[in-house]
Amino acid sequence: MGRYVVRRLLQFIPTVLGAIFLLHYLTSLGIQMTGNPARAIFGDRRPSEAQLQAMSESLGLGDKCLERVGDPCIGLYFDRLSDIFLRFDLGMNFTRRPVTDIIADGLSYTVKIVIIAIIFEILVGITAGVLAGLRSGNFVDYLVKISTVLVISVPVFVLGFLVRDMFLVNVGNSVRSSGNFPDWFAYGLMSPVYKPDYPWASLIIPGLVLGSISLATTARLTRTSILENVRADYVRTGRAKGLSEKRVIGVHTLRNSLIPVVTYLGIDFGALMGGAVVTEGIFGVPGIGREIFRAIAQQQPSVVVGITTALVLVFLVVNLLVDILYAVLDPRIRYD
């Protein structure tokens, strides 16, 4: 196991370097085609060439390669690598705020939303998938299949606006005006936007919206895996040996059925971290997703590269933990 973990950690190196280079090239190409974004800092004022050059140098945008369309800016790429991995400096935004501070402030909100979404997927999605798989062809099975298709067919931004405007605004106003509910429910859980006074309660609905589409996929994947494993030889052997149905389903069938589900949840964790930009924008959550969107709109390459590098590392670590978890779910799996 130890050697396997070391090998996987070594594989992180080319993955991270490749991801940073791709982001570096795309952001550099955007600057080359649209012009120096440092000009926007001066607003309506027309800066002198000396002022613009000084501002560009302070923001890491003074390299001449950014004026040549298509230039990969290899020198600038290695400068960024040395800043990130040798000096642990992810750069700064146009207001001279370090990217590390932006990540530190926004990451906690995004992690909270993702945790709520993952718990929602695990509790509801896996439960629904197990019930549908064990009762194939009856009412529960058809209900799960129809409801999951409906949820998957609705884009997350449409679902987010519907929940916010039709539920949290209309129903929430009635709840708040009645005065019959506790503040954490009326002004936290039912709030259409994030409220710092209720840091967890006001994130529950955004987390459920973020995890809704993934929940539908989790339920369908669990159902399919249960249907496949419930007919396996080892399940029939367990029943023939006189094992209780609870042990046959809960231990043997479910553990083997969860392997593809755990794989999906591990991949989905990283996808939710980056995909929270839409949900955070709809519900006004000051998380990583909103910061990435703002950095892209304002053409701030240091912020985009820095935040995405952090997300790539989180994604790789989570997938490593998922691979290790395989051996827990299935004792036949060994890492030599």
Tens digit of pLDDT for each residue in 151-175? 888 888 888 888 998 888 888 888 8
* Pair 51, 19 in one domain: yes
Q: What is the DSSP string of 145-195?
A: HHHHHHHHHS-HHHHHHHIIIIIIIHHHHHHHHH--S-HIIIIIIT-SS--
Query: Which of 25, 52, 85 marks a domain boundary?
Result: 85
* Pair 161, 291 in one domain: yes
* Pair 205, 294 in one domain: yes
* Pair 207, 116 in one domain: yes
Neighbours of 136 (CB within 10 A): 13
Domain that holds residue 273: 99-298
Q: Is residue 306 part of a domain?
A: no
Tens digit of pLDDT for each residue in 75-84? 888 888 888 8
The pTM assigned to this predicted structure is 0.79
* Pair 173, 130 in one domain: yes
What is the domain-level CATH number for residue 234? 1.10.3720.10
- Give mean pLDDT, residues 238-254: 77
User: Which is more confident, 94 or 170?
Assistant: 170
Residue 205, pLDDT score = 92
Q: Is the pLDDT of residue 183 over 80?
A: yes
pLDDT, the chain, mean: 82
| C-alpha dist (Å) from residue 13 to 21, 85, 100, 146, 200 | 12, 11, 21, 43, 35
First to last CA, the chain: 6
Query: Which of 85, 111, 138 marks a domain boundary?
Result: 85
* Pair 122, 159 in one domain: yes
SS3 127: helix
User: Which is more confident, 47 or 208?
Assistant: 208
Residue 105, pLDDT score = 85
User: Which class for 332: exposed (0-12), middle (13-18), buried (19 or more C-beta within 10 A)?
Assistant: exposed
* Pair 164, 199 in one domain: yes
Q: Is residue 331 part of a domain?
A: no
CA angle (242, 245, 251) in 5-degree steps: 100
Q: Is residue 20 part of a domain?
A: yes
Question: Total domain count for the chain?
Answer: 2
pLDDT band, residue 334 (cuts 50/70/90) = low
d(CA 28, CA 76): 9
* Pair 181, 228 in one domain: yes
